[in-house]
Structure 1
Amino acid sequence: MVEHHTPGWAPRFHLSRLVPLTALGLVAGTERFFARLVDDMPRLPLEALTLASRVLLVAYLVQVALRKDPEVGRGGRGGAPKRYPTTGRTFLPYLAGQGVLLLAAMFVFDFVPERLLAPAEGEPGHQLHFACLLALKNITVIPFTLIWMTGLVRRQLLLPEREPAALQ
Protein backbone atom coordinates (compact mmCIF):
# COMPACT_ATOMS: atom_id res chain seq x y z
CA MET A 1 0.00 0.00 0.00
CA VAL A 2 1.24 3.47 -0.86
CA GLU A 3 1.67 6.01 1.92
CA HIS A 4 -0.82 8.83 1.41
CA HIS A 5 -0.23 10.82 4.57
CA THR A 6 2.25 13.64 4.25
CA PRO A 7 3.32 13.78 7.94
CA GLY A 8 4.55 10.20 7.70
CA TRP A 9 6.02 10.41 4.21
CA ALA A 10 7.91 13.73 4.51
CA PRO A 11 10.37 12.74 7.27
CA ARG A 12 11.11 9.39 5.61
CA PHE A 13 11.71 11.11 2.27
CA HIS A 14 13.96 13.72 3.90
CA LEU A 15 16.06 11.14 5.74
CA SER A 16 16.38 8.90 2.69
CA ARG A 17 17.83 11.77 0.64
CA LEU A 18 19.60 13.67 3.38
CA VAL A 19 22.90 14.25 1.55
CA PRO A 20 21.62 16.04 -1.59
CA LEU A 21 18.97 17.96 0.37
CA THR A 22 21.53 19.09 2.94
CA ALA A 23 24.00 20.05 0.21
CA LEU A 24 21.41 22.27 -1.48
CA GLY A 25 20.48 23.78 1.88
CA LEU A 26 24.13 24.44 2.71
CA VAL A 27 24.45 26.82 -0.22
CA ALA A 28 21.71 29.09 1.11
CA GLY A 29 22.66 28.46 4.74
CA THR A 30 26.26 29.49 4.21
CA GLU A 31 25.21 32.63 2.36
CA ARG A 32 22.75 33.59 5.11
CA PHE A 33 25.31 32.91 7.84
CA PHE A 34 28.01 35.13 6.36
CA ALA A 35 25.59 37.81 5.17
CA ARG A 36 24.50 38.26 8.78
CA LEU A 37 28.07 38.51 10.11
CA VAL A 38 30.00 40.28 7.32
CA ASP A 39 28.85 43.76 6.33
CA ASP A 40 30.77 44.27 3.09
CA MET A 41 29.72 41.11 1.22
CA PRO A 42 28.40 41.44 -2.35
CA ARG A 43 24.69 40.87 -1.68
CA LEU A 44 23.23 40.56 -5.18
CA PRO A 45 25.39 37.68 -6.50
CA LEU A 46 24.99 35.78 -3.24
CA GLU A 47 21.21 36.27 -3.22
CA ALA A 48 21.14 35.00 -6.81
CA LEU A 49 23.12 31.94 -5.70
CA THR A 50 20.65 31.33 -2.86
CA LEU A 51 17.72 31.67 -5.26
CA ALA A 52 19.36 29.24 -7.68
CA SER A 53 19.87 26.70 -4.88
CA ARG A 54 16.18 26.97 -3.91
CA VAL A 55 15.09 26.53 -7.54
CA LEU A 56 17.35 23.47 -7.79
CA LEU A 57 15.85 22.14 -4.56
CA VAL A 58 12.30 22.44 -5.91
CA ALA A 59 13.36 20.87 -9.23
CA TYR A 60 15.03 18.01 -7.35
CA LEU A 61 11.92 17.41 -5.26
CA VAL A 62 9.63 17.41 -8.29
CA GLN A 63 11.95 15.05 -10.15
CA VAL A 64 12.53 12.56 -7.34
CA ALA A 65 9.28 12.70 -5.38
CA LEU A 66 6.85 13.08 -8.27
CA ARG A 67 8.27 12.28 -11.70
CA LYS A 68 10.55 9.35 -10.83
CA ASP A 69 8.16 7.77 -8.33
CA PRO A 70 6.47 4.97 -10.28
CA GLU A 71 3.34 5.33 -8.15
CA VAL A 72 2.98 8.99 -9.11
CA GLY A 73 4.82 9.61 -12.35
CA ARG A 74 4.02 8.62 -15.88
CA GLY A 75 4.36 4.93 -15.05
CA GLY A 76 5.44 3.99 -18.57
CA ARG A 77 2.08 4.89 -20.07
CA GLY A 78 3.57 7.51 -22.33
CA GLY A 79 1.62 10.38 -20.85
CA ALA A 80 0.69 12.09 -17.67
CA PRO A 81 -1.62 10.12 -15.39
CA LYS A 82 -5.30 10.85 -15.83
CA ARG A 83 -6.34 12.40 -12.54
CA TYR A 84 -9.30 14.42 -11.50
CA PRO A 85 -9.18 16.63 -8.45
CA THR A 86 -10.94 15.37 -5.38
CA THR A 87 -13.83 17.33 -4.04
CA GLY A 88 -13.33 20.19 -1.66
CA ARG A 89 -15.28 18.18 0.88
CA THR A 90 -12.41 15.69 1.19
CA PHE A 91 -9.32 17.74 0.34
CA LEU A 92 -9.95 21.03 2.11
CA PRO A 93 -10.20 19.53 5.63
CA TYR A 94 -6.97 17.61 5.01
CA LEU A 95 -5.30 20.77 3.71
CA ALA A 96 -6.53 22.72 6.75
CA GLY A 97 -5.07 20.06 9.04
CA GLN A 98 -1.74 20.27 7.25
CA GLY A 99 -1.85 24.06 7.64
CA VAL A 100 -2.33 23.69 11.39
CA LEU A 101 0.62 21.28 11.58
CA LEU A 102 2.82 23.67 9.59
CA LEU A 103 1.78 26.59 11.81
CA ALA A 104 2.74 24.56 14.87
CA ALA A 105 6.10 23.75 13.26
CA MET A 106 6.59 27.43 12.42
CA PHE A 107 5.94 28.33 16.06
CA VAL A 108 8.46 25.78 17.30
CA PHE A 109 11.18 26.42 14.72
CA ASP A 110 10.71 30.14 14.07
CA PHE A 111 9.04 31.98 16.92
CA VAL A 112 10.64 30.12 19.84
CA PRO A 113 14.29 30.40 18.69
CA GLU A 114 13.94 33.95 17.37
CA ARG A 115 11.82 35.51 20.11
CA LEU A 116 12.14 33.44 23.26
CA LEU A 117 15.69 32.06 23.09
CA ALA A 118 17.53 34.87 21.32
CA PRO A 119 19.81 37.25 23.17
CA ALA A 120 18.44 40.78 23.26
CA GLU A 121 19.39 43.23 20.51
CA GLY A 122 22.83 44.67 21.23
CA GLU A 123 23.89 41.91 23.63
CA PRO A 124 27.04 39.94 22.86
CA GLY A 125 26.25 36.96 20.70
CA HIS A 126 23.09 38.43 19.17
CA GLN A 127 24.45 38.55 15.60
CA LEU A 128 26.10 35.15 15.91
CA HIS A 129 22.86 33.63 17.29
CA PHE A 130 20.86 34.86 14.31
CA ALA A 131 23.58 33.88 11.83
CA CYS A 132 23.62 30.32 13.19
CA LEU A 133 19.84 30.23 13.31
CA LEU A 134 19.50 31.35 9.69
CA ALA A 135 22.09 28.83 8.55
CA LEU A 136 20.41 26.02 10.45
CA LYS A 137 16.94 26.90 9.15
CA ASN A 138 18.20 26.99 5.56
CA ILE A 139 19.66 23.51 5.96
CA THR A 140 16.72 21.92 7.80
CA VAL A 141 13.43 23.80 8.09
CA ILE A 142 13.17 25.31 4.61
CA PRO A 143 13.94 22.06 2.72
CA PHE A 144 11.58 20.13 5.00
CA THR A 145 8.78 22.65 4.40
CA LEU A 146 9.27 22.28 0.64
CA ILE A 147 9.25 18.49 1.04
CA TRP A 148 6.01 18.78 2.97
CA MET A 149 4.42 20.88 0.22
CA THR A 150 5.61 18.35 -2.36
CA GLY A 151 4.06 15.65 -0.20
CA LEU A 152 0.70 17.40 -0.36
CA VAL A 153 0.87 17.37 -4.16
CA ARG A 154 2.02 13.75 -4.09
CA ARG A 155 -0.90 12.77 -1.87
CA GLN A 156 -3.38 14.29 -4.30
CA LEU A 157 -1.77 12.47 -7.21
CA LEU A 158 -1.86 9.15 -5.35
CA LEU A 159 -5.55 9.27 -4.55
CA PRO A 160 -7.53 6.77 -6.61
CA GLU A 161 -8.52 7.93 -10.07
CA ARG A 162 -12.16 8.70 -10.52
CA GLU A 163 -14.30 9.79 -13.41
CA PRO A 164 -15.51 13.39 -13.46
CA ALA A 165 -19.11 13.84 -12.35
CA ALA A 166 -20.25 14.69 -15.89
CA LEU A 167 -19.18 11.26 -17.19
CA GLN A 168 -20.69 9.17 -14.41
Structure 2
Amino acid sequence: MNVAFAEAWTTFGQALSFTVRHYPVVAGFGILASAQRFLAVGGGERFAWAGGVAGEVFTTAVRMLFVLWVVRALFRGSDAGWSQVGPRFSRFVDAHTGMLLASAVLLVALTVVAKVIPAAVAGALPPDAHTTFVAWELAIKNVTVIPFTIVWMTTIAQVAILGGTGSLALAATARATT
Protein backbone atom coordinates (compact mmCIF):
# COMPACT_ATOMS: atom_id res chain seq x y z
CA MET A 1 0.00 0.00 0.00
CA ASN A 2 2.98 2.32 0.51
CA VAL A 3 3.70 2.07 -3.22
CA ALA A 4 0.09 2.98 -4.01
CA PHE A 5 0.24 6.11 -1.88
CA ALA A 6 3.67 7.00 -3.28
CA GLU A 7 2.26 6.77 -6.79
CA ALA A 8 -0.81 8.78 -5.80
CA TRP A 9 1.32 11.51 -4.21
CA THR A 10 3.56 11.55 -7.28
CA THR A 11 0.66 12.20 -9.65
CA PHE A 12 -0.72 14.75 -7.17
CA GLY A 13 2.68 16.48 -7.26
CA GLN A 14 2.83 16.33 -11.06
CA ALA A 15 -0.60 17.95 -11.25
CA LEU A 16 0.36 20.60 -8.72
CA SER A 17 3.54 21.36 -10.66
CA PHE A 18 1.59 21.66 -13.92
CA THR A 19 -0.99 23.91 -12.26
CA VAL A 20 1.68 26.23 -10.83
CA ARG A 21 3.65 26.38 -14.10
CA HIS A 22 0.53 27.23 -16.08
CA TYR A 23 -1.28 29.24 -13.42
CA PRO A 24 -1.91 32.33 -15.58
CA VAL A 25 -3.96 30.18 -17.98
CA VAL A 26 -5.55 28.20 -15.11
CA ALA A 27 -6.50 31.45 -13.36
CA GLY A 28 -7.83 32.95 -16.59
CA PHE A 29 -10.35 30.15 -16.99
CA GLY A 30 -11.06 30.10 -13.26
CA ILE A 31 -11.72 33.84 -13.01
CA LEU A 32 -14.52 33.55 -15.56
CA ALA A 33 -16.22 30.80 -13.54
CA SER A 34 -15.48 32.66 -10.29
CA ALA A 35 -17.17 35.81 -11.52
CA GLN A 36 -20.30 33.86 -12.48
CA ARG A 37 -20.42 32.02 -9.15
CA PHE A 38 -19.71 35.17 -7.14
CA LEU A 39 -22.46 37.13 -8.90
CA ALA A 40 -24.91 34.20 -8.74
CA VAL A 41 -24.56 33.89 -4.97
CA GLY A 42 -23.68 37.37 -3.78
CA GLY A 43 -24.89 39.65 -6.57
CA GLY A 44 -28.48 40.00 -5.45
CA GLU A 45 -31.40 40.68 -7.78
CA ARG A 46 -29.34 42.87 -10.07
CA PHE A 47 -27.30 39.82 -11.14
CA ALA A 48 -30.02 37.17 -10.93
CA TRP A 49 -29.23 36.14 -14.52
CA ALA A 50 -25.87 34.82 -13.32
CA GLY A 51 -27.61 32.24 -11.14
CA GLY A 52 -29.97 31.12 -13.89
CA VAL A 53 -29.56 28.87 -16.88
CA ALA A 54 -27.40 31.40 -18.74
CA GLY A 55 -24.91 31.53 -15.89
CA GLU A 56 -24.73 27.75 -15.58
CA VAL A 57 -24.29 27.30 -19.34
CA PHE A 58 -21.52 29.90 -19.28
CA THR A 59 -19.65 28.19 -16.43
CA THR A 60 -20.09 24.76 -18.03
CA ALA A 61 -18.71 26.07 -21.33
CA VAL A 62 -15.72 27.66 -19.56
CA ARG A 63 -14.97 24.42 -17.69
CA MET A 64 -15.27 22.33 -20.86
CA LEU A 65 -12.85 24.66 -22.66
CA PHE A 66 -10.49 24.36 -19.69
CA VAL A 67 -10.67 20.55 -19.80
CA LEU A 68 -9.91 20.63 -23.53
CA TRP A 69 -6.94 22.91 -22.93
CA VAL A 70 -5.59 20.66 -20.13
CA VAL A 71 -5.99 17.52 -22.25
CA ARG A 72 -4.27 19.20 -25.19
CA ALA A 73 -1.42 20.43 -22.98
CA LEU A 74 -0.87 17.11 -21.18
CA PHE A 75 -1.24 14.88 -24.23
CA ARG A 76 0.64 17.09 -26.70
CA GLY A 77 3.02 15.01 -28.78
CA SER A 78 1.69 11.68 -27.52
CA ASP A 79 1.97 8.63 -29.68
CA ALA A 80 -1.19 6.91 -28.44
CA GLY A 81 -3.90 6.46 -31.03
CA TRP A 82 -7.53 6.29 -30.01
CA SER A 83 -7.54 2.54 -30.55
CA GLN A 84 -4.82 2.19 -27.89
CA VAL A 85 -6.47 4.32 -25.20
CA GLY A 86 -8.92 1.68 -23.91
CA PRO A 87 -6.43 -1.20 -23.68
CA ARG A 88 -3.73 0.99 -22.10
CA PHE A 89 -6.16 2.37 -19.55
CA SER A 90 -7.47 -1.11 -18.71
CA ARG A 91 -3.93 -2.43 -18.16
CA PHE A 92 -3.16 0.57 -15.95
CA VAL A 93 -6.28 0.05 -13.83
CA ASP A 94 -5.41 -3.63 -13.37
CA ALA A 95 -1.79 -2.86 -12.44
CA HIS A 96 -2.40 0.27 -10.36
CA THR A 97 -5.72 -0.25 -8.59
CA GLY A 98 -4.07 0.66 -5.29
CA MET A 99 -2.83 3.95 -6.69
CA LEU A 100 -6.32 4.80 -7.92
CA LEU A 101 -7.79 3.97 -4.51
CA ALA A 102 -5.09 6.00 -2.77
CA SER A 103 -5.86 8.90 -5.12
CA ALA A 104 -9.52 8.58 -4.14
CA VAL A 105 -8.48 8.84 -0.47
CA LEU A 106 -6.49 11.99 -1.27
CA LEU A 107 -9.48 13.39 -3.16
CA VAL A 108 -11.72 12.79 -0.13
CA ALA A 109 -9.16 14.56 2.07
CA LEU A 110 -9.07 17.48 -0.36
CA THR A 111 -12.88 17.57 -0.28
CA VAL A 112 -12.88 17.73 3.51
CA VAL A 113 -10.45 20.65 3.45
CA ALA A 114 -12.10 22.51 0.56
CA LYS A 115 -15.78 21.76 1.15
CA VAL A 116 -16.61 20.35 4.58
CA ILE A 117 -14.53 22.78 6.67
CA PRO A 118 -15.74 25.91 4.78
CA ALA A 119 -19.34 24.64 5.04
CA ALA A 120 -18.95 24.31 8.81
CA VAL A 121 -17.54 27.84 9.02
CA ALA A 122 -20.34 29.19 6.81
CA GLY A 123 -22.96 27.47 8.95
CA ALA A 124 -21.71 29.26 12.05
CA LEU A 125 -22.00 32.71 10.46
CA PRO A 126 -24.97 35.05 10.83
CA PRO A 127 -27.28 35.10 7.77
CA ASP A 128 -26.01 38.42 6.41
CA ALA A 129 -22.38 37.24 6.47
CA HIS A 130 -23.23 33.74 5.21
CA THR A 131 -24.04 34.85 1.66
CA THR A 132 -20.87 36.92 1.37
CA PHE A 133 -18.76 34.07 2.74
CA VAL A 134 -20.23 31.54 0.30
CA ALA A 135 -19.78 33.94 -2.64
CA TRP A 136 -16.10 34.41 -1.80
CA GLU A 137 -15.65 30.70 -1.10
CA LEU A 138 -16.97 29.79 -4.56
CA ALA A 139 -14.92 32.52 -6.22
CA ILE A 140 -11.73 31.27 -4.56
CA LYS A 141 -12.42 27.59 -5.28
CA ASN A 142 -12.93 28.34 -8.98
CA VAL A 143 -9.34 29.57 -9.31
CA THR A 144 -7.78 26.96 -7.02
CA VAL A 145 -9.38 23.67 -6.04
CA ILE A 146 -11.67 23.06 -9.00
CA PRO A 147 -9.10 23.62 -11.77
CA PHE A 148 -6.46 21.72 -9.78
CA THR A 149 -8.77 18.72 -9.46
CA ILE A 150 -9.39 18.77 -13.22
CA VAL A 151 -5.63 18.88 -13.86
CA TRP A 152 -5.03 16.12 -11.31
CA MET A 153 -7.60 13.72 -12.80
CA THR A 154 -6.26 14.44 -16.29
CA THR A 155 -2.71 13.81 -15.05
CA ILE A 156 -3.80 10.40 -13.77
CA ALA A 157 -5.33 9.68 -17.19
CA GLN A 158 -2.11 10.82 -18.88
CA VAL A 159 0.01 8.50 -16.75
CA ALA A 160 -2.47 5.68 -17.35
CA ILE A 161 -2.56 6.10 -21.12
CA LEU A 162 0.96 7.27 -21.92
CA GLY A 163 2.90 5.72 -19.06
CA GLY A 164 5.59 8.06 -17.97
CA THR A 165 8.50 8.57 -15.73
CA GLY A 166 6.50 9.75 -12.73
CA SER A 167 4.25 7.24 -11.03
CA LEU A 168 5.23 4.18 -13.02
CA ALA A 169 8.97 4.63 -12.50
CA LEU A 170 8.39 5.31 -8.81
CA ALA A 171 6.40 2.10 -8.51
CA ALA A 172 9.10 0.08 -10.22
CA THR A 173 11.75 1.58 -7.92
CA ALA A 174 9.63 0.93 -4.81
CA ARG A 175 8.99 -2.69 -5.83
CA ALA A 176 12.68 -3.27 -6.51
CA THR A 177 13.67 -2.00 -3.07
CA THR A 178 11.08 -3.97 -1.08
Fold shared by both chains (TM-score > 0.5) = yes
Match of 1:150, as an amino acid? T
Query: What is the aligned counterpart of 1:30 among 35, 40, 51?
Result: 35
Q: For the structure 1 residues 81 and 137, does the alpha-carbon distance in structure 2 shift closer, same or farther, using more than 3 Å as the test?
A: same
Aligned counterpart, 2:167: none
Aligned counterpart, 1:48: 57
Aligned counterpart, 2:99: 94
Q: What is the SS of the residue equivalent to 1:125? A: helix
Contact 2:92 2:160 in 1 (8 A): no
Match of 2:144, as an amino acid? T
Q: What is the SS of the residue equivalent to 1:74? A: coil
Q: For the structure 1 residues 53 and 88, does the alpha-carbon distance in structure 2 shift closer, same or farther, using more than 3 Å as the test?
A: closer
Q: For the structure 1 residues 87 and 30, does the alpha-carbon distance in structure 2 shift closer, same or farther, using more than 3 Å as the test?
A: closer
Q: For the structure 1 residues 18 and 87, does the alpha-carbon distance in structure 2 shift closer, same or farther, using more than 3 Å as the test?
A: closer
Identity of aligned residues (%): 28
Structure 2: any 5+ residue segments left out of the alignment? Answer: 1-6, 165-178
Structure 1: any 5+ residue segments left out of the alignment? Answer: 161-168
Q: What is the SS of the residue equivalent to 1:139? A: coil
> How many angstroms apart in 2 are the aligned matches of 1:25 and 1:87?
31
Q: For the structure 1 residues 94 and 130, does the alpha-carbon distance in structure 2 shift closer, same or farther, using more than 3 Å as the test?
A: same
Q: For the structure 1 residues 44 and 81, does the alpha-carbon distance in structure 2 shift closer, same or farther, using more than 3 Å as the test?
A: closer
> How many angstroms apart in 2 are the aligned matches of 1:15 and 1:98?
20
Q: Count matched residues.
A: 149
TM-score, structure 1 normalization? 0.79
> How many angstroms apart in 2 are the aligned matches of 1:154 and 1:125?
42
Aligned counterpart, 2:147: 143
Two-structure CA RMSD over aligned residues (Å): 2.2
Task: Report the structure, 1 or 2, having the larger helix content.
Answer: 2
TM-score, structure 2 normalization? 0.75
Q: What is the 5 A alignment of 1:84-163?
A: 84=88, 85-86=90-91, 88-115=93-120, 117-118=121-122, 120=124, 122-159=126-163
